[in-house]
Structure 1
């Protein structure tokens, strides 16, 4: 898991819960936090791959447990957070779970797609923040990191619902930070550009020539490549750590320079 350059010990004695941690950015985040000493609660609706992440972390010498969780279920989210806090104490919540949708213009997008993406990407983050705040504010400390997107800051044609939800996540994070700051709780967001994950790969599937579409996308980034999950995980770990102790309400852009090109 670690490449020898990962800082260690920033999360010693701490427990972090990561949603959508069975794959992609969530998986990389769970592994990164475990590398840095955290006990990681891997949550996802995908039990098989979630357990595989736990096995990998434990094989590398880290501590992790799996909890099945549908982030759209507020009661279930509360139950998991309360159980984790009672057993381990809870210090960090990373609201990463999210979904995309097939390419479609606003007028082409059907109601079912709209409701489903909104439910996971917005309600899931809302539920995660509510549950975390009930624990963190009473204790007077804690860190929340929400995974938004570059798409929440700029328009992405034919991704209307996705950009709508990620913009909501970013601005909601600012509200949480403003409300919870006096209680000693920090809330930040990370805004990745295009990252090489399974969800990211699906972006190219509708193209006539997926490889050409990928190369065209890469050329739009000053660094001339797409992002890697572990690069976003490093940013999440920073925001969750004491290194960011005076950072709250911030949307950290991790996009290979796309937004300035």
Structure 2
């Protein structure tokens, strides 16, 4: 196996200095890694999550760390549109609003489409599609009014490829990518950009849950790794770097794009 240790790049300057970045699902995984990277780049990071203890712990960690940025925590269930609006309105008034990262997401047990219970399908839709929709719905009025802003939605390799036995997940992540394109086309004239990051399998709790459902988790992981030309899975920080790029002014002429971060899987 290809041995790899992720190290954040040192660019020598802070790409998000004095900017406010809101991240959903930031208590763990890609969301937490994104919060850490944005704070390192000088942002005031708004950590949000339905897990209040985990989210507050991340915000406290960022505040106490030797970091260039600062952090606050808001409890947020992304499926609750009214709560999302209240949180974003408060953030915009108190801190400003420059970047929204719609990262919160969920998966489902593998199985054929006809075996998947409707209740599970509906939950995945609610978190993955409605969560991103609610975030855009709440943030866009503020961003349009101020004439700038960047939205980064976290999709998946399943945004562009239909994954077997992952019909509901693939459906929702495909929807996230196409919604992003629509938002980019609509909000561009107001100076607002919208993009999607589409990662392959990443070393997160969601991956661990998926593997735990397999008959032989260790063998399932080995087979998964073999499908990637880089012969490893992504580290959360590598996906966070892609999110950071799209959020920053370095991507000032990039909008409506789905940036694939998959170690060559789709190649």
Task: Check whether the contact 1:8–1:35 (CA below 8 A) recurs between aligned residues.
Answer: no
State the partner residue of 2:20.
Answer: 15
User: Which of 115, 119, 127 lines up with 1:120 in the alignment?
Assistant: 127
State the partner residue of 1:210.
Answer: 217
User: Which of 228, 249, 255 lines up with 2:256 in the alignment?
Assistant: 249
1:214 and 1:126, CA in 2 relative to 1: closer, same or farther beyond 3 A? same
Give the whole-Å Cα distance in 2 for the aligned partners of 1:227 and 1:259. 14
Give the whole-Å Cα distance in 1 for the aligned partners of 2:121 and 2:9. 43
Per-residue CA shift, 1:182-218, capped at 9, x if unaligned? 0000000000000000001111112221111101110
SS in 2 for 1:259: coil
Per-residue CA shift, 1:223-242, capped at 9, x if unaligned? 00000100000000000000
State the partner residue of 1:150.
Answer: 157
Structure 2: gaps (5+ residues) = 1-5
Q: CA deviation at 1:17?
A: 0.2
User: Which of 189, 193, 205 lines up with 1:186 in the alignment?
Assistant: 193
Task: Check whether the contact 2:8–2:237 (CA below 8 A) recurs between aligned residues.
Answer: no
Task: Check whether the contact 1:54–1:65 (CA below 8 A) recurs between aligned residues.
Answer: yes
Give the whole-Å Cα distance in 1 for the aligned partners of 2:177 and 2:40. 27
TM-score (norm 1): 0.97
Please give the residue correspondences for 1:51-90 in structure 2 after superposition, counting only pairs within 5 Å.
51-62=56-67, 63-90=70-97
SS in 1 for 2:141: helix
Q: CA deviation at 1:14?
A: 0.5
Query: Which contiguous aligned blocks of 4+ residues in structure 1 show a shift greater than 6 angstroms?
Result: none
Task: Check whether the contact 2:143–2:149 (CA below 8 A) recurs between aligned residues.
Answer: yes
Give the whole-Å Cα distance in 2 for the aligned partners of 1:2 and 1:139. 35
1:6 and 1:104, CA in 2 relative to 1: closer, same or farther beyond 3 A? farther
User: Which of 202, 217, 222 lines up with 2:229 in the alignment?
Assistant: 222
Q: CA deviation at 1:5?
A: 2.4
Task: Check whether the contact 1:174–1:249 (CA below 8 A) recurs between aligned residues.
Answer: yes
1:133 and 1:191, CA in 2 relative to 1: closer, same or farther beyond 3 A? same
State the partner residue of 1:233.
Answer: 240
Task: Check whether the contact 1:14–1:90 (CA below 8 A) recurs between aligned residues.
Answer: yes
State the partner residue of 1:48.
Answer: 53
User: Which of 16, 32, 35 lines up with 1:30 in the alignment?
Assistant: 35
User: Which of 97, 102, 119 lines up with 2:104 in the alignment?
Assistant: 97
Give the whole-Å Cα distance in 2 for the aligned partners of 1:7 and 1:97. 30
1:247 and 1:196, CA in 2 relative to 1: closer, same or farther beyond 3 A? same
Give the whole-Å Cα distance in 1 for the aligned partners of 2:7 and 2:108. 33
TM-score (norm 2): 0.95
State the partner residue of 2:144.
Answer: 137
State the partner residue of 2:3.
Answer: none
Structure 1: gaps (5+ residues) = none
Give the whole-Å Cα distance in 2 for the aligned partners of 1:108 and 1:144. 35
Q: CA deviation at 1:166?
A: 0.1
Q: CA deviation at 1:16?
A: 0.3
